[in-house]
Amino acid sequence: MSQHRGYFLGRLFAFLAQQNVLEQPVEHCYQQACTHPPQVIPQALATMIAAGKEETLFPLMKYLPLSAFDGPLNRREQGAFALGYTHERTGASLPFAEEDLEEDGQELTERYEFRVDPHLKEWIKREGGGPFIRALLRNERVKQVPEILSEPREESSETRL
């Protein structure tokens, strides 16, 4: 998403400002970094790396998309930049932390599933439904087929003869 680009560039800019590696005071660089980050941030990154502090950049750099320095930021990305800048300055934790992604060792699809009331299913079958509804019903049927096949059948004594 393009907002991630702006958000993480804003956080990175605030971090670089805290490390005092910007060429000019933050007040002078902010406007240019907010609209054209490739003109400000790479030089500050080079200064950090030359000082041997690149390891402190890893928590932020791993979230930057590959297209982070591809041209200027649009209005939405500029808003995300300002938000990221503010979050970094106030010490807010990074979103998308690895602990948050895997809560209880289960993915979102394993924890939540779509269940349809049987009466609603019958109404949809009778009245029709869009392609999305039909696909949901088809998926429900596919889930139920393995359950039906795995149930042991009781054979009567007449069928054994």
Q: Each residue of 68-101: pLDDT tens digit?
A: 888 899 999 999 999 999 999 988 877 654 444 4
pLDDT of amino acid 113: 54
What's the rounded Cα separation, in Å, for the pair 99 and 110?
Answer: 17
**So where are the chain's domains?**
2-96, 105-151
Ramachandran region, residue 128 (left: φ > 0; alpha: ψ -120 to 50; beta: rest): left
What's the rounded Cα separation, in Å, for the pair 31 and 159?
Answer: 83
What's the rounded Cα separation, in Å, for the pair 34 and 79?
Answer: 9
With 60 as the cut, is the pLDDT of residue 153 above it? no
With 70 as the cut, is the pLDDT of residue 102 above it? no
In the chain, the DSSP E strands lie at none
Q: Please say whether the dihedral angle defined by the alpha carbons of residues 66, 68, 69 and 73, taken in this order, is positive or negative.
A: positive
What residues have CB less than 8 Å from 66, skipping those under 6 apart? none
